[in-house]
Structure formats: structure tokens, C-alpha cells
Amino acid sequence: MPEKTAKTAAKATGSKTTASKVAAKHPVKTPVKAAPPKAAAPKAAAKPVAAAPRVEEPKKVVTQRQGFKANEFVVYPAHGVGQILAIEEQEIAGAKLELFVINFMKDKMTLRVPTAKVANVGMRKLSEPALVKKALETLKGRARVKRTMWSRRAQEYEAKINSGDIVAIAEVVRDLYRSESQPEQSYSERQLYEAALDRLSREIAVVQHSTETEAVKEIESQLAKSPRRGAKAEATEADTEADEADVEADGDDAAVADEAA
């Protein structure tokens, strides 16, 4: 009996030894998956690199704005001098559009102009003092009135007023100005003259930091220095226009007589 017990114990010991050897040859792998997430940290640090191109966006905006800023006075050809109150964004048809909000205080009007369309509409900055001086010098020149029909001349004057060119506007003021010794203007002439005078005086006032009343007085003082057309010249021009009208009327009467014959 003792021998059998010893043999059984030896067998058990041998099996344990065999099991330990097998365990040593084939170790049990324990799943350790908590460590890999640490390797994801470098990827998170690499994300800011993708955000770098956003720095270029402000440059594009500045290019579209053409250097215009909020609270700045500008000249819009069709309406004259206005002030940029703000630069805002609106979503139109699913697309974002940047707009200049321009206020024309005297006309009590607010206009929204897309920043990308500034060049197309002809919006510009205020004239430099040297250009304003040139416009004032233009007022002292002799009036240049073309011998064409008034309707055609009126179109040319209106085009100059809406061009936004301060020198061209000064030419309209010079050509349509009438002194006390000269014949009175017609209603249409007076309307164009006042429109040109208003555009010119408002820009001069803003550039020189004065009031519009002071600007108008300066304009009128320059106009007073211009060579005045005498009454004889005015009468000659009126007679010429009357003769042209008579010729046209005679031609129409002759054509009617021919048709009747």
C-alpha cells in the first residue's frame, strides 16, 4: 500500500510538472487592449494643420471690398456721396453674400451693394484734394455749349452727372450756370443744374470738412470769375435756334404741300 501511494504521488507530481511545462510552452495570452488608445493622441495633434488654410479667407474678403471700410464716405455714381454704415452678410438662394450698407442721409435712403459688384457699379472713394482743386478751376472756364438740340444736350449733361466724375460734374455746373445779367434757365435746365450743383457741393463739403452751404458759396465764387457770355451772344444763339426751327417747319410745310398736290 505505501508503495502505491508513493507511486500515485509521484504520478501527480509528474503531471503537475508536465502541466507547468506545457503552460510554459503555451502561455495563456491575456487580452490587453487598453493601451492602443494612447497611440491615437498624435492624430488629434495633427488636426490643427488642416485648419491653416483658413488664414487665406480674410485676404479674399479684403480683395472683394476694394479697400472700403465701415463708416467711410464714398461716391456712388447714381446717388452721389454716401456713408458706409456697416458690412453685413445675407444668405440669398442658399449662398452667402457680403454687402455694403450705404446711407444717403440727404436723400433719406439706404442702399445695399454687393462687395463683389463695387467695380461694376463704379463706386469710388472721395476725390483727392488736388482733384477737387481741379474741379474748382474748371468752374472758372468759359461755358461750352454745343449747337445741338436741347434733348441731346440734356442726355449728355445727365450722363456726366451720373458718371461720378467730379470734373465732369463741374463742367455741367459751368455750362448751365446763369448770372443775373443772363436770360433765365428753362425748367429742365434748372433741374439739371441743381442736380449737378448738389453732387459737386456735397463731395467738396466732405473732402474739405465744411458744410454744404459753404461749399456752394465757394462754387458760386468760382463761377463768378468765369467769362460771361454777353446778351448779344445769347441773342445770336437764340436767333440761330429760332432760324433752325423755322427751317424745319418750312420743310415740313413743303412736304405737306407736295403730298396734297
Encode pLDDT of 1-39 as tens digits. 445 444 544 454 545 444 444 444 444 454 445 555 555
Q: Tell me the pTM.
A: 0.63
Encode pLDDT of 37-56 as tens digits. 555 555 555 555 555 556 55
Is the model's pLDDT at 233 over the cut of 50? Answer: no
**Residue 139: pLDDT band by 50, 70, 90 thresholds?**
very high
Is the model's pLDDT at 76 over the cut of 90? Answer: yes
The 3-class secondary structure across 107-175, one letter per residue, is CCEEEEEEHHHHHHHCCEECCCHHHHHHHHHHHCCCCCCCCCCHHHHHHHHHHHHCCCCHHHHHHHHHH
At 147 the pLDDT is: 85
Nine-digit cell at 241? Answer: 435756334
Could you tell me which residue, 249 or 175, shows the higher pLDDT?
175
CA distance 176 to 188: 11
Is the model's pLDDT at 94 over the cut of 90? Answer: no
Length of the chain: 261
Strand order in the sheet with 124-125: 109-114, 95-104, 80-92, 73-76, 124-125
At 165 the pLDDT is: 94
**Phi–psi pair at 131, nearest 5 degrees:** -70, -35
Any residues with CB less than 8 A from the CB of 177 and at least 6 apart, and which?
143, 193, 223, 226
What element of type H or E holds 79?
A: none
Nearest to 67 by CA among 119, 129, 131, 14: 119
Could you tell me which residue, 197 or 241, shows the higher pLDDT?
197
At 180 the pLDDT is: 77
**Residue 219: pLDDT band by 50, 70, 90 thresholds?**
very high
